Amino acid sequence: MLPWAADPVPSSHRPPIAAPRPLTLTIHARTREDPWAWLRDREDPAVRAHLEAENAHTDAVMAPTQPLQEQLYREMLARMREDDETVPVPDGGWSYGTRTIAGRSYAVHVRRSEATADGPEQLVLDENALAEGHPYLAVRALVTSPDHRRVAWAADTRGDERYTLGIRDIASGEVLPDVVENAGAALAWSAAGDHLFYLRQDDARRPCEVWRHALGTPPGDDVRVLHEPDERFHVELQRDRSGRFIVITCESRTSSEVHVVDAATPCNPPRRLIPRREGIELSVALHGERVFILHNDGAPEFELSWAPLDATDPHHWRPLLPHREDTHLERVEAFADHLVVWLRRAGVPQLHVVDLAGDQHHDIGMPEPIYALDPGPNRRFDTAVYRFYYSSMVTPLQVVDYDVRARSWTVRKHYEVPGYDAGALVTERHLATAPDGTAVPISIVRRRCDVGRPQPLMLIGYGAYGRSIDARFSSNRLSLVERGVAVGIAHVRGGGELGRAWYDGGRLLHKPNTFSDFVAATRHVIAIGIACPDRIAVHGGSAGGLLVGAVLNAAPDLYAAAVADVPFVDVLNSMLDATLPLTVIERDEWGDPLLPEHYDAIAAWSPYENVGPHRYPAVLALAGWSDPRVGYWEAAKWVARLRELAVGEPEILLRTHMGAGHGGPSGRYAALAETAFVFAFVLRQLGAA
């Protein structure tokens, strides 16, 4: 039995029957009906009963795949080192690391003195202990105090992203009574380690306040440091790498503002470093008496400038990396003698090093043309070694230490995958043509022996917030590929793969480009002989679930199966409800339906609104009861409407995790079981089981 799977439930295999309760809505003189609006009422016992009936039906329908799920789970578990540890991270005379232990779901954080590498290990935090008595755990913002005596963390035990802050004395193991409830997921210590800065959220789960806690005092004595009243903005918090400042950033989708608090004088009020200007987005890296500013002021793909710390008005900014139309700058990190700039060219991430002493620049060379990069833990300010993670669709994850002076890199760890033969797979990049002539990149991984013949395909998409889905490695994905199912990523507009113009081309009134790009990518892989036309599955989560719903409405005949994970499919109703978490912030992404033009645009593509009498493919929708980002009811309403209107009674399944939120079940074993469940659904529908 899988770690958290339910026992098979006898059933007639007929889906639950729930009567619609039509709700008539009128705005801008447009009238429409929402027959499943009642599913939003989590206090209604009928709602929970309906979701539990849906879960029982899904378990019953999927019961014949239980042996396949078990097999998939064992395969994926065999590729994972259950007993493992990360590469140590040097910081303040200590080497910090994380271990996993066979049979335990969560990480154990440890450290050793750098002076005695073989000396005794000290426990920093055991997440398994935090998880005891809770069905869910997510730990965020694990930060040690500057003197390395204490560690603070933010823990979510419900999946609703309301965090409890804890502090532990590392040497003694004592957990301090300084507990703060209902906080955000960011923390920053003062220089002396006697004050802890944290976030609070409003009723819409928007991080909007920074508070300061003095160790040894009750939370009721905490002081509010900053309040952001504009509902379009959220607040971020961190300590800069040099340790000199607490950096507070207020951000909307289109503007930014930066405040700083001197970490040595934490009780002083914050100083506004760079005020907001509408349409100007920026981030900063502090460096002594200079501040490096990554901004889009007259630079759509962003420019890197610098200014004196005491004179940061825009007329004092001096360009360091001027704007280039073919290069999108994403982030900058400052160290004592150099900067590391994350950028993109031709849809591929790259790292650029700026030598601050010699004013020399160079790119870090990568061994493959298509790959993925992720930042590593780089805690030291005065260092010449930069750590990052590298992988590709055929190369398992590598931990790389790059020496910026010698311009050489060392692979500190290569995550081995037992039984994996990289030579048996190939990865490719193709370009589809969208209806408006735009070239849309597609990344593919498949078996070498399948080249030259069509095969089943799972095509993944996202296309929102300017976020990129890069061509990274997945050991779990091998369970599909080794069964002859190719896996592809359609890098559609709305994402950030090709820069800011690519993002803007798939948001607000241009959102339909995201969907037509994905359909074009699907047709292209069929046309060039990669995919069988009747054996394609589409997969997306959250905003990617919106993509799934929209493309099924636009071209249901193209797909044999669809997986929508916490799908944002009830867009029009959610964007009209300002009481929901994040709605006001999200209007800069999807549009503001209080404006007639935006209302009509969203209504034209919102997945729930546009379900019609089509022959839809098999659908698996996944939701979380505690999800604060995409309400559980979005998937529930969408599934009900699909069942009501779809032609031919396709297999449409809903699973709601009653003890989880946006990220699904927590813990590595439960996550594997969830993946096995999803893959079993896909393999069965594609005839590749």
Indicate which residue of 213, 627, 657, 666 is catalytic: 627
Note the pLDDT tens digit of each residue in 157-171.
999 999 999 999 999
pLDDT at 8 over 70: no
Whether residue 461 has pLDDT greater than 80:
yes
As given in the structure block, the two tokens for residue 573 are 């109703």
Q: Is the pLDDT of residue 2 over 60?
A: no
pLDDT band at 10 (very low <50, low <70, confident <90, very high): very low
Provide long-range contacts, Cβ within 8 A and 24+ apart, for 319-323: 320/292, 320/354, 321/352, 321/354, 323/298, 323/299
Active site residue 542: yes
**pLDDT (mean) for 336-357:** 96
Average pLDDT in the chain = 95
Residue 627 bears catalytic tag: yes
662 part of the active site: yes
How far, in Å, CA of 548 to CA of 462, rounded? Answer: 9
pLDDT band at 357 (very low <50, low <70, confident <90, very high): confident
Tell me the pLDDT tens digit for each residue of 70-97: 999 999 999 999 999 999 999 999 999 9
Is residue 6 predicted with pLDDT exceeding 50? no
Compute the C-alpha angle 647/649/650, nearest 5°.
Answer: 100
Q: Over 90: is that where the pLDDT of 69 sits?
A: yes
Catalytic residue among 105, 542, 626, 666: 542
> pTM for the whole thing?
0.96
Q: Is pLDDT above 70 for 9? A: no
Check residue 553 and give its pLDDT. Answer: 98
Say how many Å lie between the first and final Cα of the chain, rounded: 19
Largest CA distance in the chain: 74
Residue 15: per-residue pLDDT: 80
Structure tokens at 663: 């990220």
In the chain, pLDDT over 90 holds for what percent of residues?
Answer: 94
Q: Look at residue 231 and tell me whether its pLDDT is greater than 90.
A: yes
- pLDDT tier, 429 (very low <50, low <70, confident <90, very high otherwise): very high
Out of 50, 109, 662, 666, pick the active-site residue: 662
Reported as a single tens digit per residue, the pLDDT across 502-539 is 999 999 999 999 999 999 999 999 999 999 999 999 99
3-class SS of residue 122: strand
Residue 18's pLDDT band, with cuts at 50, 70 and 90, is confident
| Cα 394 from Cα 503, distance rounded (Å) | 27
Each residue of 123-180: pLDDT tens digit?
A: 999 999 999 999 999 999 999 999 999 999 999 999 999 999 999 999 999 999 999 9
Question: What six digits make up the tokens of 175?
Answer: 């957990």
Amino acid, single-letter form, for residue 564: A
Residues 424-432 have a mean pLDDT of 98
Cβ contact 413:399 at 8 Å: yes
Q: How confident is the model at residue 13 (pLDDT cuts 50, 70, 90)?
A: low
Helix 512-527 / helix 543-554 crossing angle, nearest 10 deg: 70
* The predicted structure's pLDDT at residue 116: 80
> How far apart are alpha carbons 262 and 246 in whole angstroms?
6
